[in-house]
Structure 1
Amino acid sequence: MKQIWILILFILLTGCLEKDITKLDVEMVNEKGESVGKVTIQEVSSGVKMKFKLKGLPPGVHAVHIHDMGTCKAPNFKSAGKDLNPDKKKHGLLHPKGAHPGDLPNLIVEPDGSVKAELKAPQVTLKEGKASLLTKDGTSLIIHEGKDDGMSQPEGDVGKRIACGKISKDKAK
């Protein structure tokens, strides 16, 4: 009888535990608050993979950064905070002292305003910990009007923020 109660207790406890999030969708919005598509973020062995499927953006090369606050208040998205940088490293994928977790490669938007791309963020995770994208205050994905030069401080001379997406647990698949 004791074993049955232990088994029931085990089933109840494991059923109540939150499952690990391995994949989620982030809806991106422009300065007018309109959707420009989504980014699917998935945990992989080397960080997270981000699949961009967007439209309605200005053609050209644009910086993409992970920011430290999970808020996207249009039109300027300043509510998203600063680049995600828990270890206070220098900015830029080309910086000799190394990049911080919020640094990502540039996106190339087609002449029709669309982008289908895949980027990897090796210094972050969807799991708990210092490098998690799923923090208490949340994080966000920001697209800037210009390209990231990979060196300039604090954000790579990227210009204004033109799109934002909140990264949160409620978007988990």
Structure 2
Amino acid sequence: MRLVASLLLGSIALAGCAGMSGQGAGNPKPIAVSQLNPTQGNKTGGAVSFVQNGDRILVDARVDGLTPGLHGFHVHEKGDCSSPDGMSAGGHFNPGSKPHGGPDHSDRHAGDFGNLEADANGNAVLKLSIPASQVSLSRDASNSIVGKALIVHADPDDYKTQPTGNAGKRLACGIIALQ
């Protein structure tokens, strides 16, 4: 599956470049990707793409190696996946100092992406459209997710426990990078 994830990332980059050709050299769509790698003792991995389309950031996540059911999915404040348990990524990305919440809550961390839902085979696909006012793919923006870590958790996000959503241990970690 790691080969499939690598191929997916390559396809995302190529598709993004092909989509830029009609926009002119001065106005390409920002594209970022994250390769999710398992934390120690886990087998979860996958690929996530982020594409800016006007005033929205389109997120396409494909994750495997999960137990069936819901799993918290968040952007974390540090671009560091070096610790075996993923804790080096820090807490949720929260530049607006908001309370934790679900994707439909108006007041929430910028990094609160909700839950992935894994099927019986442990595979999850999630597509989100997030306001660019919430997160940015511009390196210099205060709400930029570029260089931050993306984490898949063992348990569902309950959307209320502060500040984590009680989503449990970190199964996979990946750094979000511009393409």
Indicate whether 1:166 and 2:175 are aligned.
Answer: yes
1:88 maps to what in 2?
97
| Paired position in structure 1 for 2:39 | 31
* 1:125 has 2:147 as partner: no
In structure 2, what is the Cα distance between the partners aligned to 1:119 and 1:97?
Answer: 15
CA offsets 1:26-67 (integer angstroms, 9 cap, x no match): 100112386722111111234321111221122210111111
Residues 1-173 of structure 1 mapped to structure 2, 5 A cutoff: 22-32=30-40, 36-93=45-102, 98-122=107-131, 123-127=134-138, 128-134=140-146, 138-169=147-178, 172=179
Whether the aligned pair in 1 keeps the contact of 2:93 and 2:109 (CA below 8 Å) is yes
Size of the aligned set, in residue pairs, is 150
Taking the aligned partners of 1:95 and 1:50, their CA distance within structure 2 comes to 15
Match of 2:14 in 1: none
Alpha-carbon offset, residue 168 of structure 1: 2.0
TM-score normalised by L of structure 1? 0.77
SS of corresponding position for 2:114? coil
> What residue identity is the alignment partner of 2:76?
H
Partner Cα separation in structure 1 for residue 58 and residue 66 of structure 2: 21
Identity %: 32
- 1:97 to partner: Cα distance: 7.0
1:20 Cα deviation from its structure 2 partner = 6.3
| Alpha-carbon spacing, 1:75–1:121, altered in 2? closer, same or farther (3 Å) | farther
User: Taking structure 1 as reference, are residues 21 and 44 closer, same or farther at Cα in structure 2, changes over 3 Å only?
Assistant: closer
TM-score, L = length of structure 2: 0.74
Runs of at least 5 residues in structure 2 that lack an aligned partner in the other structure: 1-26
Task: Indicate the larger mover: 111-120 or 33-42.
Answer: 33-42
Q: 2:173 corresponds to which letter in structure 1?
A: C
Q: Residues 29 and 53 of structure 2 are in contact (CA less than 8 Å); yes or no, is this contact kept in structure 1?
A: no
Q: Secondary structure at the match of 2:88?
A: helix
Separation of aligned partners in 2, 1:120 and 1:152: 24
- In the alignment, structure 1 segments of 5+ residues that lack a partner are 1-18
Q: 1:125 is aligned with what amino acid?
A: S
